[in-house]
Structure 1
Amino acid sequence: MAGYDDRDGKIWMDGKLVEWREAKVHILTHALHYASSVFEGERCYNGKIFKSVEHSERLRRSGELLDMPLPYTVEEIEAAKKATLEANGLTDAYVRALAWRGAGEDMGVASSRNPIRVAVAVWSWGNYYGDAKFKGAKLDISKWKRPSPETIPSAAKASGLYMICTMSKHAAEAKGCSDAMMFDYRGYVAEATGANIFFVKDGEVHTPLPDAILNGITRQTVIGMLRDKGIKVHERYIEASELEGFEQCWLTGTAAEVTPVGRIGDYSFEVGALTREIATDYEKLVRA
């Protein structure tokens, strides 16, 4: 596969489709220096983006949280995603919508005079965790912690918040792991580097409260699915000491979908019946 900067196809940028290789920004783009950027990761199944409007709405909310009001409405973003998929001839694809402060009159921390730019790119993408989706992912435990919402806009899907995630995932991959689990600033279980986390014990499901992490759209979908099945879901603070007592574990996210976890550090988990059932049901839901 060619690098992401060297492919055939079209990318939607600032209201028009451009050639993939020509979708460029200037070196003094504000976002490159100060992380003034927000994004969405979405998946298109059989020609339909799952929860598309919710993603477009969150993109705009993320921009507002970064004092970066997007110049496009939800309806315009929806139309841009549809046009990009059609231009690339894709019906099953990953969709990346991105908004950022571009190059302009400002080149310091402040950037109110710089334009807010928006782009949409789409490409074919398989399982985020490869065969771990079937066998159970192996997770490292990150040394980095998710910060307090008093220090970052944790409800925004902002590019800068992923810096420690990248570092954590690199460290995990160096150890032969698929990903890393992170604790939050208080020491509670938080999430993986790009996915929310769930645990099973005695037929009930436990997942961290999203008060210092992103409340993922896939997370919310899976919680709804579980409750529709009559399965009790506890959204709560989870202590590190509890990991030993959980029987099953899985990750959720647009890229991850529903991925079982077989190990976190020294703790092992069964890829059990409930995990497989939710993964199968989610696959049916997104392709319905």
Structure 2
Amino acid sequence: MAGAYDDRDGKIWMDGKLVEWRDANVHILSHALHYASSVFEGERCYSGKIFKSHEHSLRLIESARLLDMESPYSADEIDAAKEAVLAANGFTDAYVRAVMWRGSGEDMGVSARRNPVRMAIAAWEWGSYYGDAKWQGAKLDIAKWKRPSPETIPTAAKAAGLYMICTMSKHAAEAKGCSDALFMDWEGFVAEATGANIFFVKDGEIHTPLADRFLNGITRQTIIQMLKDKGLTVHERRIKPEEMADFSECWLTGTAAEVTPVGQIGDYMFQVGNVTREIAEDYEKLVRA
């Protein structure tokens, strides 16, 4: 499948039923478009099975709750809808996007309690998020924007509005020939990339930022458990930017990123070493098991 995302053949699940791809539209006065009242999930289907589908459905509902929206569907119903989308489009390996938002209704201001909460699920075939960097090691810029304090945003929600600085930072990174950008948090500690969590290796032990001020990714949690199962020590802690000079390996994790090695962040260089390669291979085996 190729071409513009609004002009394709296929089916999209929308508000409880499958509709033609080109007919899956919303009104220009949808609240989400004006006030960012939208949450979403990105998932991957491998060999006919969505990896951790139910966990993603539960997080979607929780993200909506954190934005003061009540999901019109249960996690089981969302799971079934995702399966229906894959079947309708004939996909066995695909990226799945579930989105929930406040639509158009009687309210068109900041408050929108009288507007319906709507939902849609689409799927498409999508390869490596970082292209050749998946194997060669991605190059990251350091973003000028900071991840904000949890006192200012619902950091545990996968909310569309929280990605505004991600888009801006990724555009700036790509203009410099980089694949992505690394954020620091508002206190100056290492946080995450624009759509992925980050891990480092030093003397055979793993270091990753403590995920209490940005989204604790489902892939991140999976990888941490896999590392512990392999007998590796994992430190979840605050990491100062200058510590990157002492790390030998680095990788990103996320549904789209999967496990992507990092070769460079700003002026800091990393090897695509054995720990990174092994965990990437192990993750690939797990999602296709």
TM-score range, shorter chain: over 0.9
Written as runs of structure 1 = structure 2, the 5 A alignment for 1:229-268 is 229-268=230-269
Q: What secondary structure is seen at the aligned counterpart in 2 of 1:144?
A: strand
Task: Give the alignment of 1:210-221 within 5 angstroms.
Answer: 210-221=211-222
Alignment map for 1:141-180 (pairs within 5 Å) = 141-180=142-181
The residue number in structure 1 matching 2:58 is 57
- Aligned counterparts, 1:19-168, within 5 A: 19-168=20-169
The SS at the match of 2:92 is: coil
Q: TM-score, normalised by structure 1?
A: 1.00
TM-score, structure 2 normalization? 0.99
- Alignment partners' CA distance in 2, 1:214 and 1:186: 17
Give how far 1:241 is off.
1.2
Q: In structure 1, what is the equivalent of residue 272 of structure 2?
A: 271
1:285 is matched with which residue?
Answer: 286
Partners of 1:69 and 1:196 in 2: how far apart?
A: 28
Q: For 2:168 and 2:213, locate their aligned partners in 1 and report how far apart those are by CA, in whole Å.
A: 19
Distance in 1 (CA, whole Å) between partners of 2:93 and 2:173 is 29
Q: Over residues 202-223 of structure 1, what are the superposed CA-to-partner deviations in whole Å (9 max), with x where a residue is unaligned?
A: 0000000011110000000000
**CA distance, structure 1, for counterparts of residue 214 and residue 208 of structure 2:** 12
| 1:174 Cα deviation after fit | 0.2
Secondary structure of the residue aligned to 1:186 is: coil
Structure 1 gap ranges (5+): none
Separation (CA, whole Å) in 2 of partners of 1:23 and 1:92 = 22
* Structure 2 partner of 1:201: 202
CA–CA separation in structure 2 for the residues paired with 1:18 and 1:236: 46
Q: Provide the rounded CA distance (Å) in 2 between the counterparts of 1:186 and 1:51.
A: 33
Question: Runs (4+) of structure 1 moved beyond 6 Å?
Answer: none
1:66 and 1:53 mapped to 2: Cα distance?
Answer: 20
Structure 2 CA distance for aligned equivalents of residues 83 and 91 of structure 1:
12
**1:115-135 deviations in whole A, cap 9, x for unaligned?**
000000000000000010000
Q: Any gaps of 5 or more consecutive residues in structure 2?
A: none
Task: Tell me which amino acid in the other structure corresponds to 1:223.
Answer: I
CA distance, structure 2, for counterparts of residue 57 and residue 64 of structure 1:
11
For residues 84 and 270 of structure 1, what CA distance do their matches in structure 2 show?
40
Give distance in 1, aligned partners of 2:49 and 2:119.
21
- State the one-letter code of the partner of 1:134: W
Two-structure CA RMSD over aligned residues (Å): 0.3
Give me the identity figure in percent. 76
